[in-house]
Amino acid sequence: MESEVIYGPARLPYMIERWPGYGEKLDEMINSRLSEIEEDRARARGPLLKSDSMFGKVISGSVADQRIIFGAAKSTGSFYEIESIQRVGEDLLIQRTTSYGDEYRDAVVQLKNIAPLLRARSSDAVPTEPGICLDGAFIVEPSSPIYEAVTLGVRLRQFPDVHFSIELITKDKKVEGDSLEARSAAAEEDARQSGAGAWYDRVRVIRRGERKIGNWIGSEYLARKPRINQVMESHEFAFFSHGEPGNHMVPSVEIELDTGVKGNKASGMRSSISDEEALYLWDRITSSIRPWAIGKPRK
């Protein structure tokens, strides 16, 4: 009751954006986007100018309240920006991606496949089927694996400067540069090259090394950073595991706990908790993380 879950960006397989309370404005949203696309017509290039171009068109999705719209990508007018706008409960869920030429068909298939899997979800609802919780929504586990990148955070009302976050990403192969060891070495090198070597030597490492959390075997690095200029004394805790590349049930996971966060700026203020309290929080929360299947935790 003293904590709050904050949902961050989610890609399943494309970025999903939620518009709370806009469900009844589906047609209004479609018309608004078509007007904006028409005003942007001068930027259309290449495939978007062909006689069979989809630019400025709307097609129906795989469910009654899904529409797919075609505009020009912001980065280049020769690519489509494809938007799926779907009513789910009282909200609108919007997914966007870009595609070149006839490749748009693959994106449309993907968007249509995802639409029937999206459900509305209240903040306190715990689904009883496999899938992923999103902000105000739930996506049922697809029959075939898709790219997944999901982030969420936990905020403690008594300690607003303490931010805890988790990021899960499905990967087909192991990327060595993602490891905490590689990042730690790069951070030390950057600090010394920038003249902050003396500051880096005063960083207090509370704990580091291999650790298992749930089904994930990885490494953790827990440190308290000293003050330097406008960077205040604070904690930076992290755990990273490559998971099992190719196994979407064991994605890569990165867990972080930062203290001294002010206005979403790390180390913007002095940490409100001690080393012992930060370590207690970290161990209590991370040890509770476990795989979940059909509403029951896996042993």
CA distance from start to end of the chain: 26
Distance CA 224, CA 179 (A): 20
Q: What is the reported pTM?
A: 0.83
Q: Where are the domains of the chain?
A: 3-140, 158-297
- Whose tokens are 């899904």? That residue is 66
289 and 298 in contact (C-beta within 8 Å)?
A: no
Domain 158-297 = CATH 3.40.1000: yes
What pLDDT shows up at residue 129? 85
Helix/strand/coil (H, E, C) string of 217-275?
A: EEEEEEEEECCECCECCEEEEEEEECCCCCCCCCCEEEEEEECCCECCECCCCCCCCCH
199-244 pLDDT tens trace: 888 889 999 999 999 889 999 999 999 988 878 899 999 999 999 8
Q: Is the pLDDT of residue 102 over 90?
A: yes
Q: What is the pLDDT of residue 3?
A: 86
When pLDDT is averaged across residues 21-49 and rounded to a whole number, the result is 95
Give the integer Cα–Cα distance in Å for 132 and 148.
9
Q: Given the DSSP bridges, would you call strands 149-156 and 159-169 parallel, antiparallel or unpaired?
A: antiparallel
Name the strand (E) or helix (H) holding 27: helix 26-39
> What is the residue-averaged pLDDT of the chain?
90
Residue 31: its pLDDT value, please? 96
Q: What is the model's pLDDT at position 292?
A: 62
Q: For the segment 7-25, what is each residue's pLDDT rounded down to a tens digit?
A: 998 999 999 999 999 999 9
